[in-house]
Amino acid sequence: RRMRRQRVKVYILAGQSNMVGHASVKVMENQLKHNRTKDRWTRFRSNGTWVSRSDVSISSNCDFKVSSGPLSVGYGGSDRKIGPEFGFGWSMGDYHSEPVFLIKAAWGGK
């Protein structure tokens, strides 16, 4: 089977503990409960679950935790955390018409 060529926007995110990402998803869940802030966060949730972007993929190696897939919550320091990849990936996915691929490498405290 022959593969179709397609342009992809690739971004490399590399750093230390701040790049790993320690922002708790609980903060976003709380923001969704308040009238003043919920409109900023509703696009990230659907039917009680965090949305995955099919047009933004990520391959992440953070503190030796290797994971990959569509961009969503869970590519931070734990499955319930996010890092800069979340906001950056959403912004780039909105900006580009081509698919986006993020390569994230981070090692906290080194």
Contact assessment for residue 20 and residue 83, using Cβ atoms and an 8 Å cutoff:
yes
The predicted-structure confidence for 80-110, as pLDDT tens digits, reads as follows: 999 999 999 999 999 999 999 999 999 987 6
What local confidence, expressed as pLDDT, does residue 83 receive? 95
**38 lies in a domain?**
yes
**69 lies in a domain?**
yes
CB under 8 Å to 53, separation ≥6 — which residues?
Answer: 70, 71, 72, 89, 90, 93
Which candidate, 4, 12, 24, places its Cα nearest to that of 88?
A: 12
- Counting the structural domains of the chain, the total is 1
**1 lies in a domain?**
no
Order of strands across the sheet that contains 53-62: 9-15, 100-106, 53-62, 65-71
Indicate the pTM of the whole model: 0.89
**68 lies in a domain?**
yes
What local confidence, expressed as pLDDT, does residue 110 receive? 61
Stretches in the chain below the pLDDT threshold 50: none
What local confidence, expressed as pLDDT, does residue 4 receive? 81
CB under 8 Å to 8, separation ≥6 — which residues?
Answer: 98, 99, 100, 101
**3 lies in a domain?**
no
What local confidence, expressed as pLDDT, does residue 6 receive? 87
Cα 104 to Cα 76: distance, rounded to the nearest angstrom: 10
Full residue range of the structural domain in which residue 94 is found: 9-106
